[in-house]
């Protein structure tokens, strides 16, 4: 199982790093998955990742006290909403459209009301 967790964590880390440069991929969810997987797979990898600059830049505040800057929230919500809306427009499937609409609504509610906004 450790190999599985380390592999999944490494794949999500690569996707998170790519997401830092491409606006289509959200960075934060992939890095959260990396943290989770590395914690399950290896204490050494988890310690390395939580002390890395990418962790400190994108996740540290969120993990410690569930806060994000307004800019981080807006980037995340804009990315998720635009990707979801693209699929809603492209596919003519009512179930998919309803599901993606619920994902958009869930993100807005979660990041709007649950995650606190902090100032830089």
DSSP string, 45-56: HHHHHHTSHHHH
Q: Given this model, what pLDDT does residue 66 score?
A: 82
Q: Given this model, what pLDDT does residue 120 score?
A: 67
pLDDT at 51 over 70: yes
Residue 12, SS3? helix
26-41 average pLDDT score: 90
Q: Given this model, what pLDDT does residue 79 score?
A: 79
Q: What's the whole-model pTM score?
A: 0.66
In terms of phi and psi (left: phi > 0; alpha: psi -120 to 50; beta: otherwise), the region of 116 is beta
pLDDT at 22 over 80: no
Residue spans per domain, the chain: 1-65, 66-120
């Amino acid at each position: 199982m450790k190999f599985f967790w380390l592999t999944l964590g490494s794949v999500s880390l690569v996707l998170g790093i790519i997401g830092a440069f491409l606006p289509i991929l959200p960075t934060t969810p992939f890095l959260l998955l990396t943290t989770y997987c590395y914690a399950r797979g290896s204490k050494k990898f988890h310690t390395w990742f939580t002390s890395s600059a990418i962790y400190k830049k994108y996740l540290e505040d969120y993990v410690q006290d569930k806060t994000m800057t307004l800019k981080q929230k807006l980037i995340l919500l804009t990315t998720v909403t635009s990707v979801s809306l693209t699929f809603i427009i492209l596919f003519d499937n009512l179930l998919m459209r309803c599901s993606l609409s619920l994902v958009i609504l869930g993100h807005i509610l979660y990041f709007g009301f649950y995650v606190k906004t902090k100032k830089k």
